[in-house]
Structure 1
Amino acid sequence: MRTGETGQLRLFTGLVLFLAAGCVAWGATDLVTPEPDQWHYLAIAVGLVVVGTACSAPVQIRGPIRLNATSAAVLLCVLVLPPGWALICAASGVTAARLASRTTGASLHKALHNSGKDILAAGAAAGAVWLSGVRPSLDGDLLTASWSTYAVALLAAAVAFAAVEEIVTPTTVVLATGRSFAQVSRTDWDIRLAIDVASAVLAGAALGLIAIDPRLMIAMPLAQLVLYLLYMHRMHLRAERSTWEQLAAATDALNGVDLDGVLRTAARGAVAVFTARQAQVELWDVEPCRLVRADAERVLYDGPSSAAPPPAPLTASRLLGGRDGSAIGVLRLALPAPMAGLHGREESTLRAFGASLTTAILNARAYAELAEQRDRHARDARHDPLTGLDNRRALLDRLGAAQQEPGSGTRALALVDLNRFKEVNDTLGHAFGDQLLVEVGGRLDTAARDSGAMVARLGGDEFAILFDNLPAPATAVHRARRVLDCLRDPVGLAGMQITVQASAGIALATPGVSAGELLRRADVAMYQAKRAGVSIVDYQHGRDTADHRQLSLGGELARAVAEGEFAVRFQPIVDLGSGEAVAAEALTRWQHPRHGVLLPKQWLPIVERSDLLGAFTARVLRQALLGLREWRSAGFDLTVALNVSPHSLLDPAFPAMVLDELDAHHLDPGSLTLELAETTSVGQLHAVDRVLTALRAAGVRFALDDFGTGHSTLSVVSEVAVHELKIDRTFVAAMRTSAQAAAAVRSTVELGRSLGLTVVAEGVETADQRQALWELGCTAGQGHLFGRAMRAGEILEALRDGADGVAGSLAASLHRGATVIALRNRPPA
């Protein structure tokens, strides 16, 4: 049994052959032996049937339907020959033609089935002619009735023949392919109807020729051939158009970006284009191999190839090639039998469909890869690469989004910073520091989720915790403390147990507060917690010391330096015993056009962080030296002291600038004292000392400012050679009431005396403070008792006027004319 020849089809074929045999038997009952001159009519009839059957055209419905011109020959036979001879001629002709077709590979079953069908149709047509009143006979003329009777008989015979065709042929296809009867019947019905009408017209024309001369029947085969070629051409054009329309629709449907949709659409589209029972697409370059199978109604299977159920017999396939020429999969078709193969145009169609499917698969994969990259980039842009937590951008987006609904609760932001994290990096290395951050981030995230919050890493060792829908503002600190409790347990790093401590600041989101402002407030509170040495501080507006004016001052700094808005004022330094002015400290003020006079604490950090520090220092030094030259020109032998930023001391060009200015103003380097005031210089001793050495060698003096406050230490005195020590004003103010302050002053004086250094007390406000300092052995001082910060000209006027009429004195002498031996430069014992 061949593919498609089911048991039901064989039974049906047997039924058709049985009925055909019955028709032949019926015709044989009235069989009359023809005269010798009548045999040629029978031979011509058989030839007509052979030619009509041989001239067949296939209909592309993947089934055993072939349109032919048999009906025209059979209709002519049943109209002009007795029923018996008509059936014998029809049976002989179709059998001969069908058996001859076996040389092209057709099966015996198919030949017998089609022969039986044609004989059965011929029997039906003969019966219709007999019932219409036409009694054909070989005696005399072939035409024995009126033309109207023949017209009715022709119409009845054509209808009977077509009825048998339209019942038997679709039923055969249904049994062979499993397709529906309605679907098969609708295929090319208009062409079949046109052929039936044309066959009837051709048979009627042949009757007219017979009326003229029966021998003209010889023209019938030519007419059959013309009819065959005409409809073959028309069917070819229709098939081409239909195929390419279906192919275009199927390939258009493949223009998706989803691989699942492409594969499912391809499987169902292949069924429609090739009228297949099933189609399946299998991909080989995925693990596991994937297979999608579909029929005309639905997708039958989508999953691993190894788990797919057995398919219908697959009879055609096409490899799906990759861009590099390698096969990525295969498209397979289960075509209906017995026409289980593709030929000619269908092979081209399959190649085109396979190429479109390959392109669609590769495009879908490329789109999926781009979408994955886009999602990954979007995810990376919003997540911290080390901890996997949300980053600052994600937090700001979340903060920028409106809270769920009005009245839904309070939102709070906690900013967390790890204490002494730098020590972990410096001691164990950054790799272990990263491990610590990952562990801390994981703990915070777990604890925050339990509290309905989110955690983000802002950078370094800073984390943020966002609380939403809090029942009350007061619960924010409680929730944050509960989250931070997760850091109590030590973290194991490098074989050690490390205790993690953190400081947190909390700010509440209120109407009108932006995301950036909320983050700033939490940051302010966090640094307040660090300074206070506590774990959590909530933001209070009254404790917010942020000065937004500094931001605008930074932008105005270049203009201020260029236009000389920085002015130098001088505070005199006097001998505490005699009241004589010995020096003056240059103090810089910013005369701002809008804000008035600004003190150094308001703008000095901005200058030190800018790239204008060198130009600023040069301008201030120039003004200080101009004042010094003015005093010396008037006969007062003073020196000038100038506080120097530690950043300037790290500038290799600083010594040359100072010496150039001294030379330009014709001043002795010994007339300038540079005051060192910050611990930054201590941390850079070697670099600073190179600068100090170059200036010291030229004769410039140095003073250590704010000595004893912790900003300067004894180690500095031993490492950096200075000429003066300046006692901080806080000790001077408290030495009358604090024994510790008095001891600090006394020890500084003794240290200076033992090292041969000048000691200057700052902040001398009262005569009692002057007296006490003098009694402790301090030789010089400055403060409001002797004069506030003044212009250089005002200092000169005060020197000229003097105290008690003594030029150069700014205060009355404490020893009133007695001779005092200065001990400040006594060498150590």
Structure 2
Amino acid sequence: MTLARNLILAVALVTLLGGLWVAAESPPWWRLMLAIGVAAATHLLRQRLRVGPAVFYLAWGEAALVISLFLVPAGWVPLAVLCGAMVAVAGRALHFRRRPPETVPEVAGVLTIAAGVGSLIAVSISDPYASGLSGPVALGLVLAALGYVVTVTGLAHLMLRLRRGVSAGLLLRRTLVYKLTMLLGSLAVALPVAALARAEWRWLLVLPLALWLLHWSYTYRIRSRERRRMWARLAAATRSLNLSDEAAVAAAGARGALEVFAVGRAEVQLSRGTAGAQAWVADTRGVRPRDALPDPETRVCTAVPLLAAGQEVGVLRIYFPEQAGPGNGEYTALRVYADALAAALQDTATHEELHRLLERSVYDAQHDRLTGLLNRAALLARGETAVQLSPHGSPVALLLVDVDHFREINDTLGHAAGDQVLTVTAARMREHAQPGELLGRLGGDEFALLVPVPGRAALSEVQQSAVERGRELVRRLAAEADINGVTVAVESSVGVVVAPAGTADMAELLRRADAAVRQAKQGGGTVGWYDPRQDASSPDRPALLAELRAALDRNDELVLALQPVIELATGAPIGVEALARWRHPQRGLLPPAEFLRAVENSDLLGLFTEYVIDRALAVAAQWARRGSPLPVAVNLSARSLLDTRLPRVVSALLRKHRLPGRLLVVEITETVITSEQPGVLEALRNVRALGVRLSVDDFGTGYASLTLLTQVPLDEVKLDGEFVARAAESVEAAAIVRTTVELGREIGIRVVAEGVETEPQRTLLTRLGCTAGQGFHLAAPTGAEQIGELLRSLSAGAKRQRSSPAQTA
């Protein structure tokens, strides 16, 4: 910077002395004073232009150049321009009572060089001082003024780049746009005045008045244009704040402030955060946390508090490049932008708090509070998905651990000691479990470990390995532990069961493992394995599957029970769920619990799924033809989604019944969404691409995290009826309902409450913000023959309820 500055001063000195040396004659003193006065007047009228960390002043110096070329010889023009500019600097310093800026020497050098360039261009065509105004002189003056503008602008921006280290490209383009327009105004005023002053010097008195009028007209235009640009950028910056992460909003806020207010540095500091106050700074090098930046330069900082709901969530700081702060228009924009930024930060904080609360509530609902392991419901749900998604026929092992003499520990050492025993047992089993295995506490003193076995290992080998692991668990648990100051050895019994995937569900595996524990205790050992010959309660499933195959062929035994989904406020039906029932010739009407497990673990699943979707769409098609289309929901299992034929089957059935995809809702469980099978998510996306809606059933009872739910665009979540039943008595259940509803509203997903059995439950759900429900109190499941009449009755009741306020009024 010093070298460049000295070089400019040296060139300016050579220009000044060289012009005086080559001048043919000295002008009269009064002409020189007039030229200096004109230059001073034109430099007193200037317009400030701020871009980034730099401020550029636009003056009417080219007008002074044109007039000076008429008043004094060309060699004396640089001296007149220099003296006039310095008079203007001194006058401004005295008026505002401020020290002149430190850049005065280099600015003086730039003006001197530019005046010399302009004078040289003018006299190379025709000397105005000697010949007066003519065509060649006018052309020379236009080119001289243009050379002056280009030289001043180029050298000034070069000095700004060297002094502040910022790119001057944007500032150079914007300055030239404004400066070239000023050039036209300067020539339009200066050329006529110069021609008249040639005959009578008093015409020069018109120049300040004309320039003053032109200056304020042009100033208004520049300010209006800059104000429009600022508000346009404010709108764009405000839109960019629509983010879900607080740190991202703060970074976008700092970047937006940098662009909106055309400054070199802006900062957003948060008043809260997990790691205390945090700040993001934007400057010409980008946006980054403040800790990664050096200390800010000494500049005026305008700080605006970010207020949301009466609380300060942070501070917005704008670092202006000169002593003056923002103008009236800028301060208004700054306040508007600060309010938008505060609202965006508050929205992200609220969303994150809802997310954390619901995650915590769902976690608590799925985990045992004492040990932190999965509870019985979550273990059953996750285990069922793991069993269903295992390759058909691959071995699955389940180890059931029962702590022996646990009641004696409670009776002799107290319940606190019993809790410690359970905690120690859980910790040792957690150390024993391997990745991919599921560990949970079933309740009381029972623990379970599910071990899926990849590949096609022989069942006998897997059983032998599982028995060895059971014995290892017994040895680990038997290690001495300090329980309330008493050394205790935890004795346990382990039941082992191994079965091919697809032959038994999770509930059946637990039943068999429990039988194995009893066999171990009855035999006097610590580890027992399941022996079907000693299990008198083993169900007879092959006969049931054969009968079901025949029922699918006959097409009259498997029927649908249809249950409406109701709008809680009005009672209007907004959808229908299709529930499969089996009219068994000998056993009567069978609910799904008595045959669906067998279907899901058999090769009949594909045919059964297609049959149910076909029957459900047939009913929906009838409603559509009558002018009352309603979506119908069908439950699908994880294995159904792994069937590569499923998207083609759904597409074909929609075409068969001439229905749009939006009239079919596919209901899945949380465990299906979060399964590690890549084919599941792909199948859901393929089905979703048909326009079919996706719904998550029994929400809150599985083990899904909210982050994983975003992997598939969902339309609906159905809150499990257990939370609905407990919401009136349990703060935790009510919190889950409320936060689920609020989160659903935030991300555009409808929340349906299942199991609404009483009017108080309906009232409470409405108060908690839930808009839709399903349950016997609202509408019981009914057959396809009666569902039309039920829907018409519900719609009529809703219509009466909507019109009743108007009638009362």
TM over 0.5: yes
Which one has a bigger Cα radius of gyration?
1
Contact residue 437 and residue 461 of structure 1 kept, 8 A: yes
2:145 match: secondary structure: helix
Quote how far apart the aligned CAs of 1:334 are: 4.9
- Cα–Cα, structure 1 residues 96 and 487, in superposed 2: closer, same or farther, change >3 Å? closer
TM-score, with length taken from structure 1 = 0.57
Distance 2:36 2:345 in 1: 57
Pairing 1:478–2:478 present = no
- Residue 98 of structure 1 is matched in structure 2 by 89
Whether 1:130 and 2:114 are equivalent positions in the alignment is: no
Q: Which residues of 2 match residues 180-579 of structure 1 at below 5 A?
A: 180-207=167-194, 209=196, 215-283=202-270, 285=272, 287=275, 289-299=277-287, 301=289, 303=291, 309-318=294-303, 320-321=305-306, 323=308, 329-336=314-321, 341-402=325-386, 406=391, 410-449=395-434, 453-469=437-453, 471=457, 472-475=461-464, 476-510=466-500, 511-546=502-537
For 1:823, the equivalent position in structure 2 comes to none
The amino acid of 2:116's aligned partner reads G
User: Which residue of structure 1 aligns with residue 154 of structure 2?
Assistant: 167
Tell me which moved more, 127-136 or 482-491. Answer: 482-491
> Which is worse superposed, 319-328 or 122-131?
319-328
1:150 aligned onto 2:145: no
Which residue identity is paired with 2:405?
Answer: R
Change (3 A) 1:47 1:310: closer
1:31 corresponds, among 14, 26, 35, to 26
- Distance, in Å, in 2 between the alignment partners of 1:243 and 1:259 is 25
Alpha-carbon spacing, 1:216–1:238, altered in 2? closer, same or farther (3 Å): same
- Distance verdict in 2 for CA 1:494–1:68, change over 3 Å: closer
Structure 1 distance, partners of 2:399, 2:307, is 54
- Alpha-carbon distance in structure 2 between the residues aligned to 1:484 and 1:308: 58
How far 1:209 moved relative to its partner? 4.7
SS, match of residue 474 in structure 1: helix
Distance 1:219 1:448 in 2: 96
2:6 to 2, 11, 18: 11
* Contact 2:306 2:341 survives alignment (8 Å): no
3-state DSSP of counterpart to 1:312: coil
* CA distance in structure 2 between the partners assigned to 1:495 and 1:124 by the alignment: 97
Give 2:462's aligned amino acid: P
**What CA distance in whole angstroms lies between the structure 2 residues aligned with 1:19 and 1:350?**
47
Distance 1:520 1:342, change over 3 A: same
Following TM superposition, by how much is the alpha carbon of 1:466 offset from its aligned partner in structure 2, in angstroms?
1.0
2:239 is paired with a residue of what secondary structure? helix
What secondary structure sits across from 1:60 in the alignment? strand
Name the stretch that deviates more: 250-259 or 282-291: 282-291
Classify the secondary structure of the residue corresponding to 2:129.
coil
CA distance, structure 1, for counterparts of residue 307 and residue 409 of structure 2: 53
Query: Is the Cα contact below 8 Å between 1:173 and 1:184 reproduced in 2?
Result: no
Give yes or no for contact 1:503–1:536 (8 Å, CA) kept in 2.
yes
Q: Secondary structure at the match of 1:200?
A: helix
- The structural deviation recorded for 1:385 is 0.7
Q: Which amino acid counterpart does residue 219 of structure 1 have in structure 2? A: V
Classify 1:126/1:10 alpha carbon distance in 2 versus 1 (closer, same or farther; 3 Å). Answer: closer
Residue 58 of structure 2 aligns to a residue in which SS?
Answer: strand
CA distance in 2, matches of 1:529, 1:23: 114
- 8 Å Cα contact 2:390/2:452 also seen in 1: no
**3-state SS of 1:188 partner:** helix
Distance 1:111 1:302, change over 3 A: closer
Q: Amino acid of the residue matched to residue 458 of structure 1?
A: L
How many pairs align?
531
Matched residue SS, 2:400:
strand
Structure 1 contact 79–129 (Cα < 8 Å) conserved: no
Deviation per residue, 1:672-720 (Å, 9 max, x gap): xxxxxxxxxxxxxxxxxxxxxxxxxxxxxxxxxxxxxxxxxxxxxxxxx
Instruction: State how far apart, in whole Å, the 2-side matches of 1:160 and 1:494 are.
Output: 94
Q: Which whole-Å deviations, capped at 9, do the CAs of 1:313-347 have from their partners, x for residues lacking one? A: 353141545558665654445544x5675444444
Distance across 1 between alignment mates of 2:132 and 2:305? 67
Q: Which amino acid aligns with 1:232?
A: T
Q: For residues 170 and 499 of structure 1, do their structure 2 counterparts lie closer, same or farther at Cα, with a shift above 3 Å needed?
A: closer
- Per-residue CA deviation, residues 115-137 of structure 1 (Å, 9 max, x unaligned), is 44334333322222211023524
Amino acid at match of 1:165: V
What TM-score, normalized to structure 2? 0.58
Partners of 1:27 and 1:226 lie apart in 2 by 37
**Deviation readout 1:482-522 (Å, 9 max, x if unpaired):** 22222323544455444433333333243242222222332
Question: Secondary structure in 2 aligned to 1:413?
Answer: strand
Q: Give secondary structure in 1 for the equivalent of 2:494.
A: strand
Post-superposition offset of 1:386: 0.3
Secondary structure of 1:260's aligned partner: helix
Residue 269 to residue 182, structure 1, CA distance change in 2 (3 Å): same
Q: Is the 8 A contact 2:404 2:492 kept in 1?
A: yes
Q: What's 2:44 paired with?
A: 54
- Letter of the aligned partner of 2:449 in structure 1? I
**SS class of match (1:401):** helix
Percent pairwise identity: 29
Report if aligned partners of 1:79, 1:154 keep a CA contact under 8 Å in 2. no
SS in 2 for 1:187: helix
Unpaired runs of 5+ in structure 1?
1-5, 138-142, 550-592, 596-829
Name the amino acid aligned to 2:69.
V
1:76/1:203 contact within 8 Å kept: yes
Taking the aligned partners of 1:411 and 1:594, their CA distance within structure 2 comes to 34
Once the two structures are TM-superposed, the CA of residue 410 in structure 1 deviates from its matched residue by: 1.9
Q: Which digits, 9 at most, give the CA deviation of each residue in 1:420-465, with x for residues without a partner? A: 323333343322221221122222222334x974421011111111
Equivalent residues of 2:81, 2:112 under 8 A apart: yes
Question: Against the structure 1 CA distance between its residues 356 and 464, is the aligned structure 2 distance closer, same or farther, given a 3 Å change threshold?
Answer: same
Does structure 1 retain, via aligned residues, the 8 Å contact 2:474–2:493? Answer: no
Change in CA separation of 1:499 and 1:248 when aligned onto 2, cut-off 3 Å: same
CA distance in 1, matches of 2:345, 2:448: 45
Question: Compared with structure 1, are the counterparts of its residues 519 and 547 closer, same or farther at alpha carbon in structure 2 (3 Å cutoff)?
Answer: closer
In structure 2, the CA distance between the partners of 1:343 and 1:178, relative to structure 1 (3 Å rule), is farther
C-alpha distance after superposition, 1:279-301 (max 9, x if no partner): 44444555554444443223455
Structure 2's unaligned 5+ residue stretches are 541-584, 588-809
Choose between structure 1 and 2 for higher RCO, CA contacts under 8 A separated by at least 6 residues. 2
Distance in 2, Cα, partners of 1:355 & 1:391: 46
- Contact conserved, 2:9 with 2:105, CA < 8 A, in 1? no
Is contact 2:128–2:137 with CA below 8 Å preserved after alignment? no
Q: 1:123 to 1:266 in 2, by over 3 A?
A: same
* Partners of 1:350 and 1:266 in 2: CA distance: 12
Q: Is the Cα contact below 8 Å between 2:263 and 2:320 reproduced in 1?
A: yes
Provide closer, same or farther for how the CA distance between residues 177 and 340 of structure 1 changes in structure 2, counting only shifts above 3 A.
farther
Distance in 1 of aligned mates of 2:32 and 2:236: 52
Task: Describe the SS at the equivalent of 2:371.
Answer: coil
**Partner in structure 2 of residue 685 of structure 1:** none
Alpha carbons 1:314, 1:335 under 8 Å: kept? yes
